[in-house]
């Protein structure tokens, strides 16, 4: 309970409020210091913002100071507006117009396997063991109904091929018979009269899957063998026409394409697994399967007259896929072209670049055997964009300094000063920037020696830059690009060098802005120390005052107690 103190119980005086007011009066110096610190913080923030703005200006001028692609940029255009060709030119490409005649496009080399890699559906005419859902044919059979001579045949995927043959015979009254020829691997429909297949409301694709089409006769025979390779099944069960014998006891085998070894296992890998493995390898080819013709191909991923080499032991997978010695090979072609009627040049790619035609930086992607003209000229857009960005960043710095250093006076004479008003060093930054930009670059021999020469100047009575003559700037970039580049990029006195060095100087560790912010930080630390010392002194003073009033209250209470005892002993009327 010793910590609870009620003021004025004995004296009737609210001494605690009096102590608070006395102490509050003593805090005026601290509040003044806090206001001073707050002003310093605001000034630091403004100086940091100025530093950021100057850094942005530095970043905008630096690209103009390199011997810059900005002024050597090129644009390549094709004469034909409807062409599918595409062209581009890098910085520094020699300007001019070139007539390109393409007489041959580049193609890819291809190794194509023989057709019918899959074996026949069955080795005999008895197809009662062939279930429709698992027959390895080009197009899987769907359940539903189809029509033969107006009779509806119902197809369930659990049926055998013989079940369907039986239905055809039964539902056509024996007038149409169906059979399978294992020698040709084809299905045949026979009748003594014309056979009419299908109707508009058929729901099963059985007829098309078995390649049975109307021909106006009583004899319908599929055009090609039915059996195909089951690329998703394990290789051992893929219905391949040729057996694979070149494996170890566990079914492992391998082959190489362009010197890259591809391993497989006939029991665990599918044909599709192997195709994907080839495509993902360093062999540089694309392996694919043509289900319609039941054949495999290897195609180079790049164009040009280069081969596809394979190596495999007899009885291997490539041979079973028809890609062995029996495969046909079509060589790739190099693109052939000439420039301005000169000698025939070649390129392995249909993108004609300087490695094939010798014009550094020029690239032409051709898509047809025809003639077109390519014109390479200067591309001023990039350089102009960079110059305009520099102008905008320069003006941003000037505007910021003007706003932060100005003072204004109201009609009644009241002066309002912004945070950096009177800061001569900051005002001098703006002035020096203007001088460095406006002055001529000494040592230049061309007609362009200052910004004014390319149509850029300050607005009247202003520190703001602008492009006063847009045509003059475009003409300078187009006709005197190297002189404009030197104006900015001269390593000794170029505008970029001047500004870059100056900004580095004032924003560096010993620069004006860094020095000022460091000084403010030092003052702020000193103010914090002063406030802390004052706070400690006031806390002590407050404690002394409170203790004095507490002793006074105690004395008052004792006196009142003694007086009360006397009154009780002698009565209030005693003298």
Q: On the CB side of 416, how many CA atoms lie within 13 Å of its CA? A: 7
Phi first, then psi: give them for residue 456, nearest 5 degrees: -115, 130
**What does the pLDDT read at residue 7?**
56
Q: Are 38 and 412 in contact (CB under 8 A)?
A: no
Task: State the pTM of this model.
Answer: 0.65
Neighbour-count burial for 202-214, b at 16+ CB within 10 Å, e otherwise = bebbbbbbbbbee
Statement: residue 490 has pLDDT above 70: yes
Query: What beta strand segments (E) does 45-171 contain?
Result: 74-78, 86-89, 96-104, 110-112, 144-148, 151-155
Token code pair at residue 374: 């390519």
Q: Rounded to an integer, what distance in angstroms lies between the CA atom of residue 277 and that of residue 264? A: 9
User: In which band, very low, low, confident or very high, does the pLDDT at 538 lie, cut at 50, 70 and 90?
Assistant: confident
Per-residue pLDDT tens digits for 352-370: 999 999 999 999 999 999 9
Please check the confidence at residue 149 and state whether its pLDDT lies above 60: yes
Q: Which of 8-22, 70-84, 221-235 has the lowest mean pLDDT?
A: 8-22
Residue 308 or residue 518, greater confidence: 308
In a 10 Å sphere around its CB, with 0-12 CB exposed, 13-18 middle and 19+ buried, how is residue 333 labelled? middle
What would the pLDDT profile of 86-134 be if each residue is shown by its tens digit?
999 988 888 899 999 999 999 999 999 988 899 999 999 999 999 999 9
Give the model's pLDDT for residue 23: 67
Q: What is the rounded distance in angstroms from the CA atom of residue 58 to the CA atom of residue 504?
A: 8
Q: What is the mean pLDDT of the chain?
A: 88
In the structure encoding, which two tokens stand for residue 227, read together?
A: 């059996």
Least confident segment among 5-14, 147-156, 395-404, 501-510: 5-14
Domain map (residue ranges) of the chain: 1-73+379-554, 74-106+334-378, 139-221
pLDDT at residue 314, as a whole number = 94
C-alpha 116/C-alpha 124 separation (Å) is 18
Residue at token pair 């009662």: 128
Which of 13-27, 250-264, 298-312, 397-411 bottoms out in mean pLDDT, i.e. has the lowest? 13-27
Phi, psi of 479 (to 5 degrees): -100, -20
- 303: confidence class by pLDDT, cuts 50, 70, 90: very high
Nearest to 362 by CA among 348, 347, 374: 374
Packing angle, helices 380-405 and 424-438, rounded to 10: 150
What's the mean pLDDT in 157-186?
Answer: 96
Higher pLDDT, 450 or 21: 450
- State the pLDDT at residue 4: 44
Q: What was the pLDDT predicted at 1?
A: 39
The pair of three-digit structure tokens given for residue 95, joined into one six-digit string: 């300007």
CA distances, 7 to each of 2, 510, 512, 557, 560 (Å): 13, 59, 57, 12, 16
pLDDT reported for residue 102? 97
Which of 15-29, 144-158, 500-514, 537-551 is modeled with the greatest confidence? 144-158
pLDDT tens across 182-231, in order? 999 999 999 999 999 999 999 999 999 999 999 999 999 999 999 999 99
Structure tokens at 136: 């390895």
pLDDT above 70 covers a percentage of the chain that reads 93
Residue 107 C-alpha from the chain's centroid = 31
The model's pLDDT over 213-223, given as tens digits with 9 standing for 90+, comes to 999 999 999 99
């Amino acid at each position: 309970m010793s910590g609870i103190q009620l003021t004025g119980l004995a004296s009737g005086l609210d001494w605690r409020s009096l102590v608070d007011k006395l102490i509050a009066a003593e805090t005026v110096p601290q509040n003044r210091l806090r206001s001073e610190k707050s002003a310093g913080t605001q000034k630091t923030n403004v100086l940091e913002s100025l530093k950021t703005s100057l850094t942005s200006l530095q970043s905008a001028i630096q690209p103009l100071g390199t011997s810059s692609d900005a002024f050597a940029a090129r644009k390549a255009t094709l004469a034909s507006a409807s062409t599918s060709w595409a062209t581009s030119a890098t910085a520094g490409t020699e300007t001019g117009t070139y007539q390109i005649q393409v007489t041959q496009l580049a193609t890819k080399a291809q190794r194509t396997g023989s057709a019918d890699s899959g074996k026949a559906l069955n080795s005999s005419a008895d197809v009662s063991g062939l279930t429709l859902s698992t027959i390895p044919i080009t197009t899987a059979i769907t359940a539903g109904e189809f029509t033969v001579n107006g009779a509806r045949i119902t197809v369930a995927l659990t049926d055998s091929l013989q079940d369907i043959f039986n239905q055809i015979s039964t539902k056509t009254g024996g007038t149409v018979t169906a059979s399978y020829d294992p020698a040709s691997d084809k299905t045949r429909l026979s009748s003594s009269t014309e056979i009419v297949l299908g109707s508009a409301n058929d729901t099963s694709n059985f007829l098309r899957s078995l390649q049975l089409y109307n021909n106006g006769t009583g004899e319908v025979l599929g055009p090609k063998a039915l059996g195909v390779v089951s690329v998703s099944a394990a290789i051992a069960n893929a219905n391949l026409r040729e057996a694979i014998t070149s494996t170890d006891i566990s079914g492992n085998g391998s082959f190489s394409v362009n010197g890259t070894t591809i391993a497989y296992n006939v029991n665990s890998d599918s044909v599709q697994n192997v195709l994907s493995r080839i495509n993902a390898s360093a062999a540089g080819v694309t392996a694919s399967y043509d289900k319609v013709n039941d054949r495999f191909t290897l195609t180079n991923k790049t164009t040009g007259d280069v081969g596809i080499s394979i190596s495999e032991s007899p009885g291997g997978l490539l041979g079973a896929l028809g890609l062995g010695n029996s495969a046909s090979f079509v060589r790739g072609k190099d693109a052939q072209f000439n420039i301005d009627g000169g000698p025939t040049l070649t390129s392995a790619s249909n993108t004609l670049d300087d490695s094939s035609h010798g014009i550094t930086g020029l690239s032409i992607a051709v898509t047809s055997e025809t003639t077109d003209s390519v014109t390479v000229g200067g591309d001023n857009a990039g350089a102009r964009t960079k110059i305009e960005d520099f102008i905008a960043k320069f003006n941003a710095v000037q505007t910021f300094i003007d706003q932060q250093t100005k003072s204004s006076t109201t009609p009644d004479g009241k002066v309002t000063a912004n945070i950096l008003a009177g800061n001569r060093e900051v005002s001098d930054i703006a002035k020096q920037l203007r001088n460095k930009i406006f002055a001529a670059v000494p040592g230049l021999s061309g007609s362009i020696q200052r910004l004014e020469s390319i149509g850029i100047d300050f607005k009247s009575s202003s520190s703001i830059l602008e492009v006063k003559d847009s045509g003059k700037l475009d003409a300078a970039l187009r006709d005197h690009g190297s002189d404009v580049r030197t104006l900015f990029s001269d390593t000794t006195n170029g505008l970029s060098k001047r500004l870059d060095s100056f900004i580095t100087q004032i924003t560096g560790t010993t620069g004006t802005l860094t020095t000022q912010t460091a000084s403010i930080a030092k003052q702020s630390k000193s103010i914090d120390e002063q406030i802390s010392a004052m706070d400690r002194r006031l806390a002590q003073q407050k404690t002394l005052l409170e203790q004095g009033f507490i002793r006074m209250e105690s004395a008052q209470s004792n006196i009142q107690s003694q007086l009360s005892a006397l009154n009780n002993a002698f009565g209030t009327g005693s003298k």
